[in-house]
């Protein structure tokens, strides 16, 4: 049985921002990071809600 992976909020935001940029399709972005495209779509949808909580770089 496989163990669930957990991703940091920073990782989720980075991947979602790349998906929003539109340079590549969600499927290609998801494959590059080894996550499912549905998961990436959810992160992309959640990004505006959680953007206030992101640390400043």
Q: 4-37 pLDDT, tens per residue? A: 889 998 899 899 999 998 889 999 999 999 999 9
Give residue 55's pLDDT band: very low, low, confident or very high (50, 70, 90): low
Does a structural domain hold residue 26?
Answer: yes
Which pLDDT value is given to residue 9?
Answer: 87
Asked if the model's pLDDT at residue 51 lies above 80, the reply is no
The number of distinct structural domains making up the chain is 1
More confident: 2 or 15: 15
Does a structural domain hold residue 1?
Answer: no
- Segments forming the whole domain that contains residue 23: 9-51
Integer CA distances (angstroms), 32 to 28, 50, 54, in order:
6, 23, 23
Helices then strands, each counted (H, E), the chain? 3, 0
Asked if 15 and 33 count as a contact pair (C-beta separation under 8 A), the reply is: yes
Predicted TM-score (pTM) of the model is: 0.74
Does a structural domain hold residue 4?
Answer: no
Does a structural domain hold residue 2?
Answer: no
Which pLDDT value is given to residue 57?
Answer: 57
């Amino acid at each position: 049985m496989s163990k669930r992976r957990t991703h940091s909020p920073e990782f989720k935001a980075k991947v979602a921002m790349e998906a929003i940029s539109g340079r590549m399709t969600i499927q290609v972005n998801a494959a590059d990071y080894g996550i499912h495209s549905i998961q990436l779509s959810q992160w992309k949808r959640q990004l505006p809600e959680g953007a206030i909580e992101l640390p400043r770089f």
